[in-house]
Structure 1
Amino acid sequence: MKLFSNTIKSLENALDYSSLRQKVISNNIANVDTPNYKAKDVSFKDHLTKEVGQQMSAYRTSEKHLEFSRGSSSNYQITTKNDTSYNHNGNNVDVDKEMAILAENQIYYNAVTDRISGKFNSLKSVIRGGK
């Protein structure tokens, strides 16, 4: 028996994604002066593909058609940006860009926590009988 809807699971996955991205961004900022350090990021495209793949199924009219793949949404791909170099020491961390991404991620995290809090408040209201 399912206690919560799929929305709670999706919001939990979104919080996991945002938390991991926060750690990666913080690591980038911490290594801004490390020689030959390459900035990393969490791949959102893979995250989105996994989320959509779990919520949608393909109608196949032929066995040759491909199915949507389903994967574990707790595994996010961390990519390294090897194609740039901003500093003379081979480091490619742009602090201003990382701080902007950090702020964007914080806004995303706050929105998700507000949404999950609203879900739990709705459940609490139902349990109390609408009081």
Structure 2
Amino acid sequence: MSTIHDRIFSSHDEALVLRAQRANVLASNLANADTPNYKARDIDFRAALSDVQGAEMGLQRTRAGHLPAAEDPLPGVRHAYRVPTHPALDGNTVDAQQEQARFAENAVQYQATLTFLNGRISGLMGALKGE
């Protein structure tokens, strides 16, 4: 049985926290772009969210006639460090352009989640006020 919090916010509040943590990791990568032997890191968002929720995300068959979903070839694998496309001679694996692109993508996803949550809260406030 789910709580009212789960029914209202689903997993969007947890996603917001994970997006903020990912932004910190990506910002750290950018800040250390010139640090010798620094290894670029990232968060496997899907795996982290499923850990926070306490259950693996996946499709469920509701009827016997439904086709099963393809299995994930690497279930439970979380990548902490990136494989560099162009490793530097000093051992640094940060590609500033890729990090900036990932940071921008994460920022857009963070804003989308925040907008969704604001809409939910506004809707609840309207309902409480009788609007």
Q: Does 1:14 align with 2:32?
A: no
Query: Relative to structure 1, is the Cα distance of residues 58 and 20 closer, same or farther in structure 2, using a 3 angstrom cutoff?
Result: closer
Change (3 A) 1:58 1:39: closer
CA distance in 2, matches of 1:55, 1:86: 34
Where does structure 2 lack aligned partners over 5 or more consecutive residues?
Answer: 61-77
Dislocated runs of 4+, deviation >4 Å: 55-59, 82-85
What is the aligned-residue identity percentage?
A: 31
Higher mean C-alpha deviation, range 114-123 or range 2-11 = 2-11
Match of 1:35 in 2: 36
How far residue 80 of structure 1 moved from its aligned partner, in angstroms, is 1.7
- Alpha carbons of structure 1 residues 44 and 56: separation in structure 2 relative to 1, 3 Å: closer
Residue aligned with 2:24, SS: helix
Matches within 5 A, 1:35-114: 35-50=36-51, 54=55, 79-81=80-82, 86-114=87-115
Check whether the contact 1:38–1:82 (CA below 8 A) recurs between aligned residues. no
Is there any run of 5+ residues in structure 1 with no aligned partner, and where? 60-76
CA-atom RMSD in angstroms: 3.0
Instruction: Deviation per CA, 1:17-71: give whole Å up to 9, x if none.
Output: 1000000000000000000000000012413544776487999xxxxxxxxxxxx
Q: Match of 1:24? A: 25
Alignment-mate amino acid for residue 37 of structure 1: Y
- Secondary structure of the corresponding residue to residue 4 of structure 1: helix
